[in-house]
Structure 1
Amino acid sequence: MSLSFRKNRRIGFTLVELLVVIAIIGILVGLLLPAVQAAREAARRMQCSNNLKQLGLAMLNYESATKLLPQGRTAGPASQSVFGALLPYMEQVSVYNLIDFNVSATHANNTAARAVQIPTLRCPSDPTGQSPVAGWGVTNYRSNQGSGILNGQPSTVVGNSNYGFPAPNGPLVPSLNIKIGSITDGLSNTAAFSEHPIGDFSNAISTWTDTFQPGTYPATPDEAIQMCYAITVTDLTKQGNSNVGGPWLQSGHTQGSYYHVDVPGRRSCMYPPGRVYTTAKSLHTGGVNVTRCDGSVQFIPNTIDLVAWRAFGTRDGGETTLSGIDQ
């Protein structure tokens, strides 16, 4: 009897039991996957923050060596980004030695330099695995030009016009090395660097990362925002520039600088000649990392008050409203 019972014992699972087990596993995976993804993004955001920290330290070491801050964009036809000057302070002397600072980033003399991908200039949260253009290293980071809409040069530079606008009021401005003492708002109250995703370099229908062209000319930052958001993004006459973030050696609103005209995460627009604003934005959820002029880094939410964000962008505006900024 016992032998017969053992022979007839069921071994294994029934189909129903197997389906129940699979369902339980699926539920557990569904519960755990968002947590795993969140943990991975937290690690990527931390690495991005560390990259910006390194840029801040490089800027301060440059200032310690020269008693001046680097230019946000070099003077003359070269018009190179701030990153070239910072390379010796980022353990990238070999790349620095490749650069011809007398010609533009796209000149043949800088073919080797612009092709190097500097790891510190890439945010791991950006899914763009490599440069969309062969031979162009890219950057996710930008220097702060200020809270205005001027993409020109300081009025002290001969031959340059400010189109009736004041000179850029950020800490890293075109064609001018300012003294750190000029940041009278305080180093911890003034942004130096932030971030921006890499574009698709297609120059087709513009995407969130691109810069649009409304075709009209604003007189104030507020008017610039209104014009920027009045356009239809699928209107081919308003398409801007999707060559965003490359090459890292080149400066300008699509490669090396950003503005505190509008809050992070918003649309960017340019109004040639001379008027433009590129917003800070990122692939992080809800905001962007920002390096202060004292070298510290803070995550700033996209919901920050516009008045406070603009105040954070100026070096000597004397503003007192910095709601949402750690002080």
Structure 2
Amino acid sequence: MLIIRKAIEISSPKYSKNNCSAYSMIELLVVISIISISISLVLAAVQNVRAAAARTRCGNNLRQIGLALQQYELSYGWLPMGVAYQNGKAPQLSITWMTRLLPYVDQNSLWLQALAAFQQNSFFETPPHFPILSKNMPLFVCPSDFQAQSPYNSGIFSVALTSYLGSEGTNLISKDGVLFVDSSIKLIEITDGISNTLAVGERPPSADKTLGWWYAGWGQVLGNTPTGSCDSVLGVRELQVTPHYSNCSPGPYSFRFGSLNNDCDAFHFWSLHPGGGNFVFCDGSVHFLTYATDSILPALATRSGAEILDSIE
């Protein structure tokens, strides 16, 4: 019996408290790692779903804008001016194409308010215009563009911002697009085809918030003419001609990723969606164009360049 007991004692494993504790700690670390990875995957999935939803809502905004542009053209026979100047004699000086679309996006009362304000004072940075200048318009703001979702306080007045700029074509000099200073382009004049020509695209307001005003604005001044460039309209190969932004390259700029903190990114189309941005074409269709399509944007931006494209995406 003694021999058997000794054998049992020798063959039986002995567990100390230290061994047991070490084994439990390893298990705990493994479980924590699995939970951490699972949470990361879930959060990433939620973030992707939210980003996709915001991109879809943004596209819906542009779809409504495209429809309003077509209704405007049907009413007047031409698309709205990108921005109004007319040698300083425009009845509503410096208003943008977005302001002219107000009656076509269920905002006729706001349009009438704007007309009344211009009757009181032709300069938009005056008290009669302040209520409209600060009026936030969700239709003109991308859901991903959080900084544009509330008015910017300039210290004197508040300014409502926009994430969408009209396509002036190549740049502020060429005026070969559909929305530029004093433009009055008819759809029939878009010989490249309305389904192949950009109307409006995404670009968040400039970092200093001086560019990206939906109601009215000067934009870049060329000679003595405010062009609205980079404020309410933009070219796909835009030039920088403003002393205020002398730290930025003169251009031309291309379609690429930008930053909310970089003023120089005001000179090109970009968005807060990963990989590209939404554009509405002159036929009202909306396309998400990736930054890889930059090479074909000059062809898409011109209304009568006679370029031949195999695909727009």
TM-score using structure 1 length:
0.70
Q: 1:264 to 1:105 in 2, by over 3 A?
A: farther
In terms of fraction of residues, the more helix-rich structure is: 2
Counterpart position of 2:298? 310
Q: Secondary structure at the match of 2:180?
A: coil
Q: Deviations over 1:243-272 (max 9, x none)?
A: 2212543351232011021432267999xx
Counterpart Cα distance in 2 of 1:171 and 1:143? 8
Matched, 1:120 2:139: yes
Cα shift at 1:51: 0.7
CA shift in 2, pair 1:59/1:247, >3 Å: closer
* Pairing of 1:69-80 with structure 2 (within 5 A): 69-76=79-86, 77=88, 78-80=93-95
The one-letter amino acid of 2:236's match is: H
Alignment of 1:178-217 (within 5 A): 178-201=185-208
Residue 161 (structure 2) pairs with residue 138 (structure 1): yes
Instruction: Report whether the alignment pairs 1:32 with 2:42.
Output: yes
The aligned amino acid for 1:120 is L
Q: 2:232 aligns with which of 231, 235, 256?
A: 256
> 1:69 deviation in Å?
1.0
Aligned mates of 1:29, 1:95 — CA distance in 2: 47
The runs of 5 or more residues in structure 1 that have no matched partner are: 1-13, 151-165, 202-241, 271-276
In 2, distance between residues paired with 1:36 and 1:47?
17
Say if 2:55 is the partner of 1:45. Answer: yes
| 8 Å Cα contact 1:305/1:324 also seen in 2 | no
Alignment of 1:1-327 (within 5 A): 17-76=27-86, 77=88, 78-100=93-115, 101=118, 103-128=122-147, 129-133=149-153, 135-150=158-173, 168-201=175-208, 242-246=209-213, 248-250=215-217, 252-261=228-237, 262-265=253-256, 278-306=267-295, 308-320=296-308, 322-326=309-313
- Post-superposition offset of 1:292: 0.3
CA contact (8 A) 1:264 1:288 kept: no
> What SS does the corresponding residue of 1:21 show, helix, strand or coil?
helix
Shift of 1:297: 0.5
Identity %: 33
Deviations 1:279-300 (A, max 9, x none): 1111111111111000000011
Consecutive unaligned residues of structure 2, counting only runs of 5 or more, are 1-23, 219-227, 238-252
Would the aligned equivalents of 2:275 and 2:291 in 1 still touch at CA under 8 Å?
yes
- Residue 37 of structure 1 aligns to a residue whose secondary structure is helix
Q: Deviations over 1:47-96 (max 9, x none)?
A: 11111111100000111111211111113431211011101111111211
Superposed CA offset, 1:18-71 (max 9, x none): 544333221101122111111110000111111111110000011111121111
Q: Distance in 1 between matches of 2:294 and 2:162?
A: 27
- More moved, 31-40 vs 74-83: 74-83
With 49-58 and 30-39 compared, the bigger mean Cα shift is at 30-39
Please state whether the residue corresponding to 2:101 is helix, strand or coil.
helix
Q: Counterpart of 2:5? A: none
Shift of 1:200: 3.2
Contact 1:116 1:136 in 2 (8 A): yes
TM-score (structure 2 length as normaliser): 0.73
Deviation at 1:198?
A: 2.3
Q: Which residue of 1 aligns with 2:21?
A: none
Residue-pair matches, total? 250
Q: CA deviation at 1:124?
A: 1.2
Contact 1:122/1:140 (8 A) holds in 2: yes
> What's the Cα RMSD here?
2.5
